[in-house]
Structure 1
């Protein structure tokens, strides 16, 4: 497949690039700062590198793609609307070029609580939500923009992210949240996003993911 990855210098974005390239896909990276690409990554794994602030190049990067994947979002507790704003740029480019399939990273607290969630897990989730309320508010607005768009979007909603290895073994719930899902590695988030590209049930849905 021909794939475009936004946020390719981020922790999940790098995983998306590497795993997609290993699987034989043609990958174009869209980044805010090309200097942050790991040494050798562009030559080894990428079809092309495009700056996010180059609107014409971004449109070219998504044109004719089979799918677009995004790891864009805040790098800290103060979101400043970054996920909504940058995802809006992605949506604008895709809609201008008639590209349909989009997968993005959101977060578990943006989705519904599991119906049978234990009280301890529910309390932890709400406490974390209070600490990162700006980030989750930004992601909620991002998901609202997805819902208004013409794209066939999927929002992947992980809980706490770790730097663990790719296992390929995790739980997913379309339209919901895995019970007592407390963590997942960034590598497995990327694995799930790539696996969901061709999953019809995930179209225009949030997908909870956790170990």
Structure 2
């Protein structure tokens, strides 16, 4: 298949690109014109765009692909609504060229709190996390709402705290929910799940919690 990857210069998106290429897929990596991107591969096409808020260049990057994966997200609390603005344009471009399968990364705090989660986490830790990164999660909530109301065959992956540890391929998932006591996962393993979700019909139009 051919996969268009947004956020290809980021931690998760970069792993998606490399893992997909290693698996023998064809990849279109969408990067900003101003970004350095040196990865080369016979099955990799790099499409440079001025930004992710204009639909037309994104249409050209998506046209002919089987699926789209987005690792786009805010890189700080004061960056602005990066995820929601970009995703709105991506969804419009997908709709224009008739591509339906879409996997996007969000965050665990947007999922439901597991019923068997500890009292400390439910009453103290989770509320503190939500308050600390309120702007980021507000952006992601708008993004998720737009995805869920779209015509896309979407999957939203919700990881907890991210690390740069190596790919393990061993992690817990919760389709439609949040992993209990799930505190950490590597960007490489999030990418692994996003790619595996493309071929998993049980994740279509469902959020998926993931953690070690």
Indicate the residue corresponding to 2:157 in structure 1. 156
The CA deviation string for residues 147-188 of structure 1, in whole angstroms up to 9 with x for no partner, is 111000111000000000100000010110010000000000
Equivalent residue, structure 2, for 1:49: 47
Q: 1:52 to 1:124 in 2, by over 3 A?
A: farther
Q: Distance in 2 between matches of 1:69 and 1:28?
A: 10
Relative distance call for 1:52 and 1:190 in structure 2 (3 A) is farther
TM-score by structure 1 length? Answer: 0.94
Partner of 2:113: 113
1:42–1:49 CA contact under 8 A, matched in 2: no
Return the alpha-carbon distance in structure 1 between the equivalents of residues 110 and 50 of structure 2.
25
- Number of aligned pairs? 209
Cα distance in 2 for partners of 1:42, 1:34 equals 18
Q: Could you say what secondary structure the match of 1:47 adopts?
A: strand
Is residue 77 of structure 1 aligned with residue 77 of structure 2?
A: yes
Report what 2:95 is aligned to.
95
Q: Note the C-alpha offset of 1:125.
A: 2.0
Q: What residue ranges of structure 1 are gaps of 5+ in the alignment?
A: none
Question: How many angstroms apart in 2 are the aligned matches of 1:207 and 1:55?
Answer: 27
Contact 2:15 2:188 in 1 (8 A): yes
For 1:164-179, what aligned pairs fall within 5 Å after superposition? 164-179=165-180
Taking the TM superposition and a 5 Å limit, the aligned residue runs for 1:177-196 are 177-196=178-197
Kindly indicate whether the alpha-carbon contact (under 8 Å) linking 1:34 and 1:49 is maintained by their aligned counterparts in 2.
Answer: no
Return 25-34 or 5-14, whichever deviates more.
25-34
| Bigger mean CA deviation after superposition, 83-92 or 70-79 | 70-79
- Aligned residues: CA RMSD: 1.5
**Helix, strand or coil for the counterpart of 1:113?**
coil
- Equivalent runs, 1:3-14 vs 2, <5 Å: 3-14=3-14
Report how far residue 34 of structure 1 moved. 5.3
The CA distance in 2 between the partners of 1:79 and 1:193, in whole Å, is 25
Task: Name the SS of the counterpart of 2:112 in structure 1.
Answer: coil
Q: How does 1:20-35 map to 2 (within 5 A)?
A: 20-33=20-33, 35=35
- Could you say which residue in structure 2 is the equivalent of 1:19? 19
Compared CA separation, residues 114 and 178, structure 1 to 2 (3 A): same
